Amino acid sequence: MTGVGIDGIEIHTGKLRLDLAETFAPAKGDDPEKYTKGLGLYASSFPDTYEDIVTMGANAAHRLMERKGLTPEDIGRIDVATESAFDHSKPVSTYIAGCLEQVFDGDFHHANKGERKFACVAGTQSIDDAYNWIKAGRNRGRAALVIATDTALYARGDAGEATQGAGAVAMLIDEDPNLVELSTEQGYGSADETDFLKPNQQFPSVDGKRSVQVYLARMREALVDYQSIGGDVHPDRFRLGPFHTPFPGMVRKAAVLAYRHITRDTEIEAELADEIGRQPRHAEFDDDDAFLEAVQEYTDALTETSRYQSWYARTIDPTLSLSRRVGNWYTGSVHVARVSGLKALAEEGEDAVGKRLLVGSYGSGAQAEIHAETIQPEWRSEIDALNIDDHLASRYELSFSEYEDVHDSHNYDEETSIEEFTPPESEFAFDGWGRMGERKYRYVE
Ligand code: CAA
């Protein structure tokens, strides 16, 4: 069998934009640089009143299928990854299939549908499920549609309010993929953690500071696990490192720890030794505190080296450009990071065929997963087909009071009757409630 991976991808952003430095920070009495420099975020995407996880996911999938010339019969599996589901039983994939059946001839009656939940790592897990299904030979020549869709809203006043976002990523998983082939090797870091959860509630309970530490710990564990099964992590082996990006500042923290880890016992560590010494080894210290202090000092010095900074500028920074403009999309976030990085390579005209990505996914609760991807010969046409820049540029700019209204309109506990900010056009829109409490949708020409 040929390789299996991502054949095509589409991104759909929520149609509203909140500027964090110009609009959010002043209303909160914060220094704008807390957002732009500290968190690394400039704006968040929000859903208009008629948008939700179904419309955004269906719009992304519609464009993907249309662009690839697919019909429902070509799809054997639809999995939706989300942390924003509104139904404990009926999966979001059934709603999305229903939407797509409004615009395509044929139906998805013989496609296996489901919904994956493990916080933000569920999008990557859905790709895994599709990969395994294809590798097992159960796909009958058909591809899988994986849709990561979220309205990542926090309660008003929560520290996480700064990192909100809304959007969907649709990916076609297939044999002989056009975009990237997935590695068989995977590393996991997984533990029962209480850092971010939604126990039967719409907005998350978050221990923000702790969630940052849990992200770093699980990501490290996954990297070690990946290495243990032969995953080569030398920095020269990877052109890009797309990580789950709740906000770019989180990836900045993770990147230096990852670089320290992947350069240990390499010629890079030896070459840097003249400037900042060798990495501290636990065995050389009598007590843990002294060791940890030495590690912190080394890490701080590492971030100041030009070697690290040029690796970061080349490998990590390109993966953050979309995230800076849209905020956190939970399950879609690492997939947005992959696209950001590939877009940057395309814009630079780089011949990237055969180059590799080290992809770090993460979900609170908590689990990290590391795998590698190899860029495929047709990658450029897939990336050139994206219209995300136009879509981002056409977002409606919210004032702070409009943002408050939008937040209320998506809050299940608020009764609101605000008008839409943008007219729906050539897209799926929420169309009210059915007799059993189901949500209804229609395609607006
Ligand atoms: N100029 C420059 N930088 C500034 C600044 C200024 N004027 N003011 C503050 N900063 C910096 C701070 O130093 C800090 O950076 P460091 O952490 O590097 O020191 C950064 O800006 C943020 O400032 P605070 O820590 O004071 O911000 P906060 O307390 O309001 O909240 C947060 C930060 C805890 C991450 C919060 O946004 C949050 O709870 N977010 C949601 C949880 C989250 O995203 N966790 C990430 C890991 S979990 C995960 O990844 C899953 C997921 O998707 C949710």
Residues recorded for the chain: 445
- Domain residue limits, the chain: 4-444
Ligand 1 centre from 38 Cα, in Å?
A: 7
Q: What is the 3-state secondary structure (H, E, C) of the chain?
A: CCCEEEEEEEEEECCEEEEHHHHHHHHHCCCHHHHHHHHCCCEEEECCCCCCHHHHHHHHHHHHHHHCCCCHHHEEEEEEECCCCCCCCCCHHHHHHHHHHHHCCCCCCCCEEEEECECECHHHHHHHHHHHHHHCCCCCCCEEEEEEEEEECCCCCCHHHHHCEEEEEEEEEEECCCCEEEEEEEEEEECCCCCEECCCCCCCEECHHHHHHHHHHHHHHHHHHHHHCCCCCCHHHCCECCECCCCHHHHHHHHHHHHHHHHCCCHHHHHHHHHHCCCCCHHHCCCHHHHHHHHHHHHHHHHCCHHHHHHHHHHHHHHHHHHHHHCCCHHHHHHHHHHHHHHHHHHCCCCCCCCEEEEEEEECCCEEEEEEEEECCCHHHHHHCCCHHHHHHCCEECCHHHHHHHHHHCCCCCCCCCCCCCCCCCEEEEEEECCCCCEEEEEEC
Residue 188 tokens read as 């996991």
Ligand 1 centre from 211 Cα, in Å?
A: 10
Q: Is 330's C-beta closer than 6 angstroms to any atom of ligand 1?
A: yes
pLDDT (tens digit, 9 = 90+) per residue, 74-96? 999 999 999 999 999 999 999 99
Q: Is 215's C-beta closer than 6 angstroms to any atom of ligand 1?
A: yes
User: β-strand 75-81 against 143-152: which pairing, if any?
Assistant: parallel
pLDDT attached to residue 230: 83
Ligand 1 centre from 157 Cα, in Å?
A: 14
On average, the pLDDT of the chain sits at: 97
pLDDT (tens digit, 9 = 90+) per residue, 147-161? 999 999 999 999 999
Q: Is 34's C-beta closer than 6 angstroms to any atom of ligand 1?
A: yes
Say yes or no to pLDDT of 354 above 80: yes
Name the residue of 194, 205, 211 to mutate for ligand 1: max ligand atoms within 8 A of Cβ: 211
Report, as residue numbers or ranges, the catalytic residues: 83, 120, 244
Q: Is 162's C-beta closer than 6 angstroms to any atom of ligand 1?
A: yes
Ligand 1 atom nearest the C-alpha of 253 is: 18
Q: Is 38's C-beta closer than 6 angstroms to any atom of ligand 1?
A: yes
pLDDT attached to residue 1: 65
- The superfamily (CATH) of domain 4-444 is Thiolase/Chalcone synthase (3.40.47.10)
pLDDT attached to residue 2: 81
Q: Per-residue confidence at 258, pLDDT binned at 50, 70, 90?
A: very high
pLDDT attached to residue 162: 96
Ligand 1 centre from 437 Cα, in Å?
A: 38
